[in-house]
Amino acid sequence: MIDLYDLYQELILDHNRRPRNRRKLEDPSCQAEGYNPLCGDRVTVYLKIEDSVVTEATFDGSGCAISTASASLMTESVKGKSLEDAKALFRKFHGMLTGQSIETADGPDLGKLEVFSGVCRFPARVKCATLAWHTANAAWEKRETVVSTE
């Protein structure tokens, strides 16, 4: 039997109650909107990227406890990281949740993000946890698309 608190760990409940970095960024380098059609959750991710370093990351929107906590922890995790490291973190986080984390001895340390490891036992909720990350990924990819076409 699965324990509910494998999913709703204290850190997740805390970030749901008091989301960090939940605000619109006035002058982002890039932003993207993510939408989960399954549950109607919407999130907008704002990133400030200077010299290939994520210097600011915020989000806005409403969702369930898992998606809110994931957005909050995502912003904390990528802030201060190089874009490359942030992308590696996304890949590893995504791998953990989708059960493709076999080769994850390499790559960055997930740190606090390990708190989401229980989500993969709740398949209906995996998309809640990955929404903010996919949205962040769309934001920085969009920026690169713009850069590459200049």
Partner 1 sequence: MITASDSRHAPPMAQADAALDVESIRRDFPILRQTINGHALVYLDNAATSQKPQVVIDAISRYYAEDNANIHRGVHALSVRATDAYEKVRITVQRFIGAAEPEEIVFVRSATEGINLIAQTYGRSEIGKGDEILITTMEHHSNIVPWQMLCRQTGAVLRVAPINDDGELILDQYEKLLCDRTKIVAVTHISNALGTINPLSEIIDLAHRHGARVLVDGAQAAPHLCIDVQALDCDFYVFSSHKVYGPTGVGVLYAKRELLEEMPPYQGGGEMIQSVTFDETTYNDVPHKFEAGTPNIAGVIGLGAALDYVNGIGLDRIAAYEHELLDHATHALAAIPQVRLIGTARHKAAVLAFVVEGIHPHDVGTVVDQEGIAIRTGHHCAQPVIDRFGLTATARASFAFYNTREEIDALAAAMRRVLEVFA
Interface residue list for partner 1 (CB under 8 A)? 1-2, 4, 7-8, 13, 16, 38-42, 62-66, 68, 122, 124-125, 128
Q: Which is nearer to partner 1, 16 or 56 (CB)?
A: 16
Query: Residues 6 or more apart from 100 whose CB is under 8 A from it?
Result: 94
Minimum distance from residue 10 beta carbon to partner 1 (Å): 11
Q: Which is nearer to partner 1, 67 or 75 (CB)?
A: 67
**Residue 78 — left, alpha, or beta (φ > 0 → left; ψ -120 to 50 → alpha)?**
alpha
List, in sequence order, every residue forming a beta bridge with 42; answer none if it has no partner. 35, 62
Q: Which is nearer to partner 1, 7 or 47 (CB)?
A: 7
Pull the structure tokens for residue 101: 């984390």
Minimum distance from residue 58 beta carbon to partner 1 (Å): 20
* DSSP 8-state assignment for residue 87: H
Minimum distance from residue 36 beta carbon to partner 1 (Å): 9
Please identify which residue in the block is written with the tokens 């406890």. 65
